[in-house]
Amino acid sequence: MNILVVGGGGREHALVWKLKQSPLCHSIACAPGNAGIGRLAELVPIRAEAVEEQVQFAAEKRFDLVVIGPEAPLAAGLADALRAKDIRVFGPSQKAARIESSKIFARRLMEKYGIPSPAYQAFENPEAAKSFVRELAFQGKHCVVKADGLAAGKGAIVTSSTEEADAAIEQCLIRQAFGEAGRRIVVEERLTGPEVSILAITDGRRLVILPPAQDHKPIGEGDTGPNTGGMGAYSPVPLVTEDLLETIRRTVLEPAVRGMEAEGAPYTGVLYAGLMICGGRPYVIEFNCRFGDPETQAVLPALDEDLLPYLLNAAEGTLHQDQILDPRQSSVCVIMASGGYPGAYEKGKVISGLEAAEAETEGVLVFHSGTQWKDGRLLTAGGRVLGITGQGRDFQQACQRAYAAVEKIHFEKAYYRRDIGFRVCKR
């Protein structure tokens, strides 16, 4: 098969790395990819969101399967446009991608189909939103204010007082900090508990659940400071027992997939459930319509199975059975970012030590996010730059391997958290 992967981050690097190992894979291209992906796949200089150009290119080259990585092209209808040209595609339709691209749509779906989730209401009017904040406060609850639309992982503001909540509401609805995406908001009850990410491949009916992962979203050690796209992840998650995973399947994943079908938006692709475990029970914080990043950089290395047949069967609507895929080993992914991220940061810093990191450390994979070749040098080109995944028989070993490699890699103002995986191992 000739495969096209759309996107150019660490998630896509991990996907390309995994798909390329499949005996079914003949060739693989990636649009636009990045410097690391370029070592495995042909790079095509088309932006992920450039729907028309992507479709034109895919039709011209007659790919057997297109795998869409990021949410933006899915929300823009890339999967629909490809299917209209009879190109096989792994990823939900624009309508189904609303499970991520509209938090109001997602919360209504959860409400209608009885999927456990926090109390919420949707608003356009700031005064009405503030009065709901007070209603929650009266019940002793804090709240989270979320832009309805896509905001690159930065659209959720977790608050600890009515003043903070009011400020968040004004930031979205009056000062329009998230533009059109924040014209409507969700105000919801703030829950507390550990978070897990569950990725399930689905053809609209059957579910193949990948090993659970935990993401470290905040920039600072001990999970403090502002949220980022993710500073690291590990897989599997000891907290997610077989029983809990079964509950997640029964109370979250199955009703979501059935609900989407009932709403006239059958869901195929990866359904990502971001969950909080409260009192031993799973509550949905968010759904995403794609593989998680950095979770995918930890999950795929932990997996033994060939991924390609699952993606293919999901795209064709022919998954044979519900399945839970067991991890082969433990993995820990540490993100190296540009200093300043998730705020302003500089690009174009020379990256050194990669070869040593890959060659001298056992059980390590280096995935690229924001990197670029220029004049024979490897340069930083984004906020998140590299994802270093250590694999091992346990988390201790996986973590040691990841950090041994991280310490060999250098670029000016590199920043990484030194405590990724702190809930499952010590450094």
Q: Which residues bind ligand AMP (CB under 6 A)?
A: 118, 144, 146, 155-156, 158, 188, 190-191, 195, 217, 227, 274, 285-286
Residue 45: asked if its preceding bond is cis (omega within 30°), the reply is no
Q: Which is nearer to ligand GLY, 197 or 361 (CB)?
A: 197
Give least dist CB 310 to ligand GLY, A.
19
Give least dist CB 24 to ligand GLY, A.
27
Among 236, 342, 230, smallest CA distance to 294 is for 230
Number of neighbours of residue 320 by Cβ within 10 angstroms: 10
Q: Which is nearer to ligand GLY, 36 or 69 (CB)?
A: 69
CA distances from 414 to 101, 137, 227 (A): 32, 41, 18
- What whole-number distance in Å separates Cα of residue 322 and Cα of residue 56? 35
Q: Which is nearer to ligand AMP, 188 or 293 (CB)?
A: 188
Could you list the residues that contact ligand GLY (CB under 6 A)?
153, 215, 230, 288, 292-293, 295
**Taking CB within 5 to 8 Å according to partner kind, which of ligand GLY, ligand AMP, none is near residue 100?**
none
**Taking CB within 5 to 8 Å according to partner kind, which of ligand GLY, ligand AMP, none is near residue 1?**
none
Q: Which is nearer to ligand GLY, 263 or 293 (CB)?
A: 293
Specify whether the backbone of 18 is left (phi greater than 0), alpha (psi in -120 to 50) or beta. alpha
For residue 419 the two structure tokens come to 């405590």
- What whole-number distance in Å separates Cα of residue 80 and Cα of residue 148? 22
- What whole-number distance in Å separates Cα of residue 25 and Cα of residue 20? 6
**Taking CB within 5 to 8 Å according to partner kind, which of ligand AMP, ligand GLY, none is near residue 330?**
none
Q: Which is nearer to ligand AMP, 205 or 423 (CB)?
A: 423
DSSP symbol at 325: P
Q: How many residues does the chain have?
A: 427
Q: Which is nearer to ligand GLY, 276 or 354 (CB)?
A: 276
Q: Which is nearer to ligand GLY, 54 or 296 (CB)?
A: 296
**Taking CB within 5 to 8 Å according to partner kind, which of ligand GLY, ligand AMP, none is near residue 158?**
ligand AMP
Give least dist CB 125 to ligand GLY, A.
29
Residues in contact with 185: Cβ distance below 8 Å, sequence separation at least 6, in sequence order: 122, 123, 124, 129, 145, 146, 147, 148, 169, 172, 173
- What whole-number distance in Å separates Cα of residue 1 and Cα of residue 98? 30
CB distance 196 to 275 below 8 Å:
yes
**Taking CB within 5 to 8 Å according to partner kind, which of ligand GLY, ligand AMP, none is near residue 227?**
ligand AMP
- What whole-number distance in Å separates Cα of residue 30 and Cα of residue 44? 6
Give least dist CB 153 to ligand GLY, A.
6
**Taking CB within 5 to 8 Å according to partner kind, which of ligand AMP, ligand GLY, none is near residue 144?**
ligand AMP
Give least dist CB 6 to ligand GLY, A.
16
